[in-house]
Amino acid sequence: MKFFVDTANIDEIRQAKEWGFCDGVTTNPSLVVKEGKVFKDVVKEICKLVDPAPVSAEAISPDLENMVKEARAVAAWAKNVVVKIPMTEAGLQAVRLLAKDGIACNVTLVFSVNQALLAAKAGAAYVSPFVGRLDDVGEDGMALIADIMQVFKQYNFKTQVIVASVRNTAHVTRAALLGAHVSTIPFSVIKQLFRHPLTDKGIERFNDDWKKLPESARKLIG
Ligand code: E4P
């Protein structure tokens, strides 16, 4: 499973990259606003930092003509840009046109199997079902991932499933168990993936025991 970092924060992306856990980045308008920078500048900076890994950046206009114009402009910012397109009628028409020109699209705000199916049929490179937002309204976000994976496998779609709106480490585990292609994970959750209380406790005990050896018996190097 690929790990995308769900952020527009350069420091977080840099750290995830140093750890070796940044196979791509997803942004959205809410994440970009938090950084207080010019949208185009942030996206270009992220693209350069993670090149050749894919970076999703959203087209905003709701109508087909302007959406396609924006998508083409965004796609020209860097060769690793993936244009995020909202799951609407105009959005899927745009995906069809853009895909013909080789522009990779990530259909966002997907909340049902049928929406994922339409996006795949339109030629989306990625679909982003939002699991956390489904959980928030009392549905089971991960059950949707299981269903979409089954349908995509059944019909051999090349569209990759990005598990989005990830809120906790259990979402990541379940995404991996289901064979999702990608999880896009907030930095705070990536940090938690390293941790287990028994690991911390185990390290502490080993270190304490190690100190019980005489110093002359503790040589590791040389
Ligand atoms: C990623 O593509 C989405 O924009 C993001 O995961 C949404 O997460 P949220 O529901 O926590 O805002």
E-strand ranges in 89-170 read 105-110, 126-129, 160-163
Instruction: Flag whether 207 is in a domain.
Output: no
**Mean pLDDT across the stretch 183-201?**
98
Instruction: Flag whether 33 is in a domain.
Output: yes
Report the alpha-carbon distance of residue 86 to residue 70 in Å, rounded. Answer: 13
Q: Helix 113-122 vs helix 89-100: angle between axes, to the nearest 10 degrees?
A: 30
- Banded model confidence at residue 125, pLDDT cuts 50, 70, 90: very high
- Give me ligand 1 centre to Cα 217, in Å: 52
Domains identified in the chain, total number = 1
Which residues on neighbouring strands pair with residue 26, listed in sequence order?
6, 56
Catalytic residue of the set 2, 48, 84, 158: 84
The pLDDT, as a whole number, for residue 52 is 98
Q: Look up the domain containing 11 and give its range.
A: 2-195
Of the residues 3, 5, 6, which should be mutated to test ligand 1's pocket, given the most ligand atoms within 8 Å of the CB? Answer: 6
Instruction: Flag whether 59 is in a domain.
Output: yes
Instruction: Flag whether 214 is in a domain.
Output: no
- Banded model confidence at residue 218, pLDDT cuts 50, 70, 90: very high
Report the alpha-carbon distance of residue 157 to residue 159 in Å, rounded. Answer: 5
| Mean model confidence pLDDT for the chain | 97
E-strand ranges in 51-171 read 55-58, 81-86, 105-110, 126-129, 160-163
Instruction: Flag whether 200 is in a domain.
Output: no
The pLDDT, as a whole number, for residue 167 is 98
The pLDDT, as a whole number, for residue 20 is 98
The pLDDT, as a whole number, for residue 85 is 98
Instruction: Flag whether 52 is in a domain.
Output: yes
pTM (2 d.p.): 0.95
The pLDDT, as a whole number, for residue 45 is 97
- Banded model confidence at residue 188, pLDDT cuts 50, 70, 90: very high
- Banded model confidence at residue 60, pLDDT cuts 50, 70, 90: very high
Taking only the tens place, the pLDDT of each residue in 139-183 is 999 999 999 999 999 999 999 999 999 999 999 999 999 999 999
Which residues, in sequence order, are CB contacts of 144 under 8 Å at separation 6+? 111, 112, 113, 129, 131, 134
CATH number at residue 152: 3.20.20.70
Check pLDDT > 90 for residue 73. yes
The pLDDT, as a whole number, for residue 66 is 98
CA distances from 147 to 111, 140, 152, 156 (A): 11, 11, 9, 14
The pLDDT, as a whole number, for residue 222 is 80
Of the residues 28, 30, 31, 145, which should be mutated to test ligand 1's pocket, given the most ligand atoms within 8 Å of the CB? Answer: 28
Check pLDDT > 90 for residue 109. yes
Instruction: Flag whether 213 is in a domain.
Output: no
**Mean pLDDT across the stretch 120-134?**
98
Annotation says 84 is catalytic:
yes
In this prediction, what percent of the chain has a pLDDT beyond 70? 100
